[in-house]
Amino acid sequence: MRIVELTPENNWVLKIVSDDGRIGNFDVSPYLKYEAFEPLRDRSQFLKVSNGGYFVEWDCGADLSADTIEARWTVIEKATSTAMA
């Protein structure tokens, strides 16, 4: 999966659009207990997320691979093939 759009939402959720048109939510909150993700408890730091295509990363150095996201996200919508054209 390649991430084409990334939007930080409320409650430490990332809204993600994949290259195949799936749209879903990934909850980052379970990761906040780990040292690398602790700075993201500050909402202003969480909002500084960047899209690397095959990963997402934050200014603090925390990152998540697209594989990890795909394994644990909740798909909420799938674009139709005509919408992808």
Domain ranges of the chain: 3-80
What is residue 79's predicted lDDT score, i.e. its pLDDT? 72
pLDDT band at 83 (very low <50, low <70, confident <90, very high): very low
What is the C-alpha separation between 49 and 9, in angstroms, rounded?
Answer: 11
**CATH classification (class only), 3-80:** alpha beta
User: Which residue has better confidence, 84 or 38?
Assistant: 38
52 by Cβ neighbours in 10 Å (0-12 / 13-18 / 19+) ranks as middle
Q: What is the pLDDT of residues 4-57, one digit of tens each?
A: 999 999 899 999 999 999 999 999 999 999 999 999 999 999 999 999 999 999
pTM passes above 0.75: yes
What is the C-alpha separation between 58 and 82, in angstroms, rounded?
Answer: 34
What is the C-alpha separation between 83 and 72, in angstroms, rounded?
Answer: 25
